[in-house]
């Protein structure tokens, strides 16, 4: 079994990342996805809140899959294995606490 790793410092194909704001305690990041873009399964010690600004996505958190669309939001606990696939091009706004220093 392969261990789940942190999301790569460089986003995957079909995904563009932009840090919108950060401090030591909090970071806000925009992720723009092309249709079919993926956020590979990963985990990290940060608590993450995700807001779907646009598009449609299939998320998986600790083995549970669900669909989200514009206006949906949810929290991903620290250490939870998660990832997503974009089914309709769009943008996610993620906040992390504490800051994801690997994104700087």
Structural domain contains residue 2: no
Tens-digit pLDDT profile for residues 7-50:
555 567 899 999 999 999 999 999 999 999 999 999 999 999 99
| Alpha-carbon span 88 to 35, nearest angstrom | 5
Instruction: Identify the CATH number of the domain in which residue 25 sits.
Output: 2.60.120.10
User: What CA–CA distances, in Å, run from 91 to 5, 16, 37, 85?
Assistant: 23, 9, 11, 12
DSSP secondary structure, 27-42, as one string: EEEEEEE-TT-EEEEE
**How far apart (Å, rounded) are the C-alpha atoms in residues 66 and 84?**
10
User: How many structural domains is the chain composed of?
Assistant: 1
Residue 3: inside a domain: no
What pLDDT, on a 0 to 100 scale, did the predictor assign at position 12?
73
**Is 86 part of any domain?**
yes
The pLDDT value recorded for residue 3 is 38
- Whether 5 maps to a domain, the answer reads no
């Amino acid at each position: 079994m392969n261990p789940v790793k942190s999301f790569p410092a460089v986003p995957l194909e079909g995904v563009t990342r932009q840090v919108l704001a950060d401090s030591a305690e909090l970071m806000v990041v925009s992720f723009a996805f092309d249709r079919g873009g993926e956020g590979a399964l990963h985990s990290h010690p940060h608590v993450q809140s995700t807001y779907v600004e646009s598009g449609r996505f299939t998320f998986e958190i600790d083995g549970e899959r669900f669909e989200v669309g514009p206006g949906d939001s949810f929290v991903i606990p620290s250490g939870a294995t998660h990832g997503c696939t974009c089914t309709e091009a769009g943008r996610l706004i993620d906040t992390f606490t504490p800051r994801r220093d690997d994104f700087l």
